[in-house]
Amino acid sequence: MRLTRSLLCSLFTVALVPAAILSLAPAGAAAPLPDGNGVEVVAHRGASADAPENTLAAVEEAIAQDADSIEVDVQRTADGHLVLLHDVTLTRTTDVERVFPDRALDPVGEFTLDELKRLDAGSWFGPEFAGEPIPTFDELLERTGDRAALLIELKEPARYPGIGSEVAAAIGDPRPGVVVQSFDHDVMTAFAAVAPDVPAGWLFGTRPTTAELDAAAEHADQVNPSFRVVDEALLAAVAERGMQTGVYTVNDEADMRRMIDTGVHRIITDRPGVLRKVLAG
Ligand code: G3P
Ligand code: CA
């Protein structure tokens, strides 16, 4: 892990964790582990238990619930705009079947931004969110400003060649706490080359192997697995390689407590307000 990555990644954590328990790790050294109260609260797709995922309503709800950071999924439209959406198709979270009945199963990347902006991304969640639009990535950056950090997932990036560079360009100067992550480790390796100053995370759906951890350490600052595969041995293996651990998606209070006790750096949850209360004890 390069020092620039370690430093940028640590700056936001320093703001959250009492100074007495933190010291910035030099490259190659174990990342400092926070105590329970230092765990970063990351709102998964915004506060997605209480508002429609990946919308500005969910972002505002996450900030209202005192999230430190907001996780979003980024894809690209047919005309080159970065937008927030999790699924490759629009059927689950929009009214695409009503607006574009012949194209309902087409992938996101085949719609222009003007077309996506005609969709309602809120009604599926609840009538009070009717008309909530799909946001662009620029709208997210403008809305959040310095009110929250961001954990930006490149979703299915192999579909969108060059999307890592575009996200890095949209971010501009690296901001403390703003991290880019993906399950696609080849894309993240390329991302580290084009955006060496933007902190990076590698997502894992299964327990990372030693070889995968060694590879991640070359290019990333964070290893972010499903909480179901995390234990103290894995956290130690990540820390030995100079990286931090974030876990997804932890919605049950008992699981939150277990992850806090295990020593993770950040917890990604649909319920940031609940996690905040658990952390407060
Ligand atoms: O940030 C981790 C988590 O979002 C990865 O899974 O499917 O919710 O994007 P998914
Ligand atoms: Ca995600």
Task: Give the rounded percent of residues in the chain with a pLDDT score beyond 90.
Answer: 84
Residue 19 pLDDT > 50, yes or no? no
pLDDT tens for each residue of 218-258: 999 999 999 999 999 999 999 999 999 999 999 999 999 99
Instruction: Return mean pLDDT, the chain.
Output: 90
Any idea which of 26-30, 107-111, 118-122, 275-279 has the lowest mean pLDDT? 26-30
Task: Give the distance (Å) from ligand 2 centre to CA of residue 237.
Answer: 24
Task: Give the distance (Å) from ligand 2 centre to CA of residue 153.
Answer: 5
φ, ψ for residue 26 (rounded to 5)?
A: -65, 160
Distance of CA 90 to CAs 81, 84, 154, 182, Å? Answer: 16, 11, 17, 20
Q: What pLDDT sits at residue 1?
A: 52
pLDDT band, residue 37 (cuts 50/70/90):
low
Which residue's CA is the closest to the ligand 1 atom numbered 6? 248
User: Could you tell me the pTM of the whole model?
Assistant: 0.90
Average pLDDT over residues 255-274: 98
pLDDT band, residue 5 (cuts 50/70/90):
low
Residue 151 pLDDT > 90, yes or no? yes
Task: Give the rounded percent of residues in the chain with a pLDDT score beyond 70.
Answer: 87
Distance of CA 109 to CAs 84, 118, 143, 262, Å? Answer: 12, 15, 24, 39
Q: Which of 70, 153, 228, 270 to mutate to test the pocket of ligand 1 (most atoms within 8 A of CB)?
A: 153
Average pLDDT over residues 33-44: 75
pLDDT band, residue 22 (cuts 50/70/90):
very low
pLDDT band, residue 178 (cuts 50/70/90):
very high
Q: What pLDDT sits at residue 79?
A: 98
Q: Which amino acid is at 49?
A: A
* Under 8 Å between Cβ of 224 and 268: yes
Pocket of ligand 1 (CB under 6 A): 44, 71, 73, 86, 153, 203, 248-249, 268
Which residue's CA is the closest to the ligand 1 atom numbered 3? 248
Residue 10 tokens, joined: 């640590």
φ, ψ for residue 116 (rounded to 5)?
A: -65, -35
Q: What pLDDT sits at residue 139?
A: 98
Q: Which atom of ligand 1 is nearest to the CA of 42?
A: 1
| CATH of the domain spanning 3-26+35-88+135-280, picked from 3.20.20.190, 3.90.1170.50, 3.30.930.10, 3.90.870.20 | 3.20.20.190
Task: Give the distance (Å) from ligand 2 centre to CA of residue 72.
Answer: 6
Report the Cα–Cα distance between both ends of the chain, in Å, rounded: 34
User: Annotated catalytic sites, by residue?
Assistant: 44, 86
Which residue's CA is the closest to the ligand 1 atom numbered 2? 248
Average pLDDT over residues 202-228: 98
Task: Give the distance (Å) from ligand 2 centre to CA of residue 74.
Answer: 9
Ligand number nearest CA of 72 is: 2
Helices 185-194, 210-219: crossing angle, 10 deg rounding: 20
Which residue's CA is the closest to the ligand 1 atom numbered 5? 248
Residues flanking ion ligand 2, Cβ below 5 Å: 73, 153
pLDDT tens for each residue of 51-61: 999 999 999 99
pLDDT tens for each residue of 66-94: 999 999 999 999 999 999 999 999 999 99
Ligand number nearest CA of 246 is: 1
Residue 97 pLDDT > 80, yes or no? yes
